[in-house]
């Protein structure tokens, strides 16, 4: 069962995401564990990351992965890992050894080999939290409507060719990996995504049409929206 919370502006949403993320990290650390979190890209996620402060939590003691990545050279501004470094990882001095970036274009591996190599460094235990954005077409990570990767059951990480959103080559975790998590939070802002949100939360629908329907946490699935993204929902 999904829970839906919405905020009256993108700024309030970013503040709310940052606050909840800090609370979750602190809670897990108070249990004597290192939080295992999958990061997402996107403007609202970056706005939330930018609000994290050094004293909020022990950022030296978190471990981070990425739900997907653009297969472009390391350091390029459109890579999710570089955006996360610019937004908070470097500023909060998260140890590089704890940040598990996906392979970059220019490595010795093919795209398929790069995806397979990333699967080998995923944790043995479930993630504590997976953060996901949602595209206007309903995609999550780099799992796009109508793509065969939506129905992958054996691989944790896959190569994506011909992405409808450039660049064409990407790497993405699959639903078996994304859903091996205690909690999943969808972070969505803007009227342009309202239809995708409504389709994802509708009683009926297909993953092929709206991939976001396929992602869920084992204990918690939370949709964090601003009012524009929630504008086509009823009774929320």
Residue 158 pLDDT greater than 60, yes or no: yes
Confidence band for 107, pLDDT divided at 50, 70 and 90: confident
- The answer to whether residue 233 is domain-embedded is no
3-class state of residue 9 by DSSP:
coil
Kindly tell me the burial class for residue 191, based on how many C-beta atoms sit within 10 Å of its own C-beta (0-12, 13-18, 19 or more).
middle
Q: Which residue has the higher pLDDT, 109 or 82?
A: 82
Residue 86 pLDDT greater than 80, yes or no: yes
Average pLDDT over residues 175-195: 98
The torsion angles phi and psi of 32, rounded to 5 degrees, stand at 85, 20
The whole domain housing 106 covers 2-226
- The answer to whether residue 236 is domain-embedded is no
> What is the rounded average pLDDT for all residues in the chain?
96
Enumerate residues 6+ apart whose C-beta is below 8 A from 105. Answer: 71, 72, 73, 169
Tokens of 219: 């204990």
Average pLDDT over residues 160-165: 94
What CATH number has the domain bearing residue 73? 3.40.50.1360
Whose tokens are 């397979």? That residue is: 116
Is the pTM higher than 0.75? Answer: yes
How many domains would you assign to the chain? 1
- The answer to whether residue 75 is domain-embedded is yes
Please tell me the total number of residues recorded for the chain in this structure: 236
Q: Which residue has the higher pLDDT, 105 or 175?
A: 175
d(C-alpha 198, C-alpha 157), whole Å: 27
Summarised one tens digit per residue, pLDDT across range 62-80 is 999 999 999 999 999 999 9
User: Which residue blocks in the chain are alpha helix, DSSP H?
Assistant: 10-30, 43-49, 80-84, 111-119, 175-178, 194-201
Summarised one tens digit per residue, pLDDT across range 2-30 is 999 999 999 999 999 999 999 999 999 99
pLDDT recorded at residue 1: 74
pLDDT recorded at residue 234: 76
- The answer to whether residue 232 is domain-embedded is no
Q: Kindly report the number of other CB atoms within 10 A of residue 122's CB atom.
A: 17
Residue 236 pLDDT greater than 70, yes or no: no
- The answer to whether residue 181 is domain-embedded is yes
d(C-alpha 164, C-alpha 135), whole Å: 11
- The answer to whether residue 154 is domain-embedded is yes
3-class state of residue 121 by DSSP:
coil
Summarised one tens digit per residue, pLDDT across range 108-138 is 779 999 999 999 999 999 999 999 999 999 9
Residue 106 pLDDT greater than 80, yes or no: no
């Amino acid at each position: 069962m999904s829970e839906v919370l919405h905020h009256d502006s993108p700024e309030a949403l970013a503040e709310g995401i940052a606050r909840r993320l800090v609370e979750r990290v602190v809670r897990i650390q108070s249990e004597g564990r290192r939080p295992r979190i999958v990061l997402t890209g996107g403007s609202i996620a970056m706005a939330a990351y930018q609000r994290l402060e050094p004293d909020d939590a022990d950022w030296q003691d978190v471990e981070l992965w990425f739900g997907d990545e653009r297969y472009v050279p390391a350091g390029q501004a459109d890579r999710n890992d570089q955006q996360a470094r610019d937004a908070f990882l470097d500023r909060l001095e998260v140890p590089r050894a704890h940040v598990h970036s996906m392979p970059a274009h220019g490595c010795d591996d093919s795209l398929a080999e790069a995806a397979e190599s990333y699967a080998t460094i995923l944790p043995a235990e479930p993630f504590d939290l997976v953060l996901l954005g949602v595209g206007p077409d309903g995609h999550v990570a780099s799992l796009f409507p109508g793509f065969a990767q939506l129905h992958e059951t054996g691989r944790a990480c896959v190569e994506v060719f011909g992405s409808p959103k450039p660049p064409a080559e990407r790497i993405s975790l699959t639903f078996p990996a994304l859903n091996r998590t205690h909690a999943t939070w969808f972070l969505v802002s803007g009227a342009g995504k309202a239809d995708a949100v409504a389709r994802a939360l509708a009683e009926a629908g297909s993953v092929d049409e709206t991939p976001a329907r396929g992602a869920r946490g084992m204990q918690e699935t939370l949709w964090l929206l601003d009012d524009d993204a929630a504008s086509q929902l009823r009774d929320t």
